[in-house]
Every structure is written in structure tokens, then in C-alpha cells.
């Protein structure tokens, strides 16, 4: 089991960030404890329609299984539009890494604080969604969990 001081620090960091986003302090602490107790969060990846990312998602959908895709999170301090930006970096079967997009702004606000404090998050690729009609884009979903 982790040191209780580290766990409390993680909960307090997440709860303070959630409170700033508009939750009551009580609701913020409840949500933070849920995450710490082992529950995972499924979230979409934003920015997947930029560049060749749609081709990469099509290839993941048709050629690879979600288990073969490795996901890591990387803090992007150089982002001019979002000071809390967190990039989603993928690689398939240990190949070259590729920037798939970013975590949504409201979740990046919390995740960036955890990354800055050195708290490790486990990210896993869940699925490729979308393209139900020929004019629709693909989307990606990842799962986040505290290490």
C-alpha cells in the first residue's frame, strides 16, 4: 500500500482543482477519493482530426488490437492555448511514438497538476470510435488510472 501521506496529497490536489472548476468542496473530495480508490476514467482524445491522425486511427482500427497500442502522457508546457495541456503519445508494438492528440481541457486541468507533482498515471488505449457515416471522423478513447 502506498504511503498515506502521498495518497492524501493526491486527493487534496485533485479536490482543489475540481473545486476551482465549480464543484463543492465535498463533491470534489468524493470524486477525488473515487479515482484514488482504483476507479478509472474513460476520456476521449481531442485534436484527432489534425494532420494525419485520422489515417493513424484508421490503421489502428483495421490492423491492430487495442492491447497492442501503448499510451503515455506528456505534459506540454509550450502550448499557447492551454497552459495545462497534456499530450497523448502512442506507440504500437514498441514502434516509433506518435502524438495522437490531447486530453480534454477540463480533465487536463487536474491531470497536469498530478503530473507536475510527480504522481504517476497509467494510461491505456480503449477503442477507436466514430466514422459511422462516410463524412464522420474517427475518435479515440483512453482510460486513465492512478498508478
Q: Where are the domains of the chain?
A: 1-39, 40-146
Give the residue ranges of DSSP H helices in the chain. 4-20, 25-36, 53-63, 105-116
Residue 136: how many CB atoms within 10 A of its CB? 10
User: What fold, for 40-146?
Assistant: Alpha-Beta Plaits (3.30.70)
pLDDT in tens, 90-128: 999 888 999 999 999 888 888 998 899 888 889 999 999
State pLDDT tens for residues 40-72. 888 999 999 998 999 999 999 999 988 999 999
Amino acid at each position: 500500500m502506498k504511503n498515506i501521506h502521498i495518497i492524501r496529497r493526491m486527493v487534496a490536489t485533485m479536490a482543489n482543482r475540481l473545486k476551482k472548476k465549480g464543484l463543492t468542496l465535498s463533491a470534489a473530495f468524493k470524486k477525488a477519493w473515487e479515482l484514488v480508490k482504483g476507479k478509472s476514467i474513460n476520456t476521449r482524445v481531442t485534436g484527432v482530426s489534425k494532420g494525419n491522425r485520422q489515417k493513424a486511427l484508421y490503421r489502428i482500427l483495421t490492423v491492430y488490437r487495442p492491447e497492442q497500442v501503448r499510451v503515455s502522457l506528456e505534459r506540454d508546457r509550450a502550448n499557447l492555448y492551454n497552459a495545462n495541456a497534456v499530450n497523448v503519445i502512442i506507440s504500437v508494438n514498441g514502434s516509433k511514438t506518435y502524438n495522437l492528440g490531447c486530453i480534454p481541457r477540463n480533465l487536463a486541468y487536474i491531470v497536469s497538476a498530478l503530473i507536475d507533482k510527480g504522481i504517476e498515471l497509467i494510461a491505456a488505449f480503449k477503442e477507436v470510435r466514430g466514422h459511422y457515416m462516410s463524412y464522420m471522423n474517427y475518435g479515440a478513447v483512453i482510460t486513465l488510472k492512478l498508478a
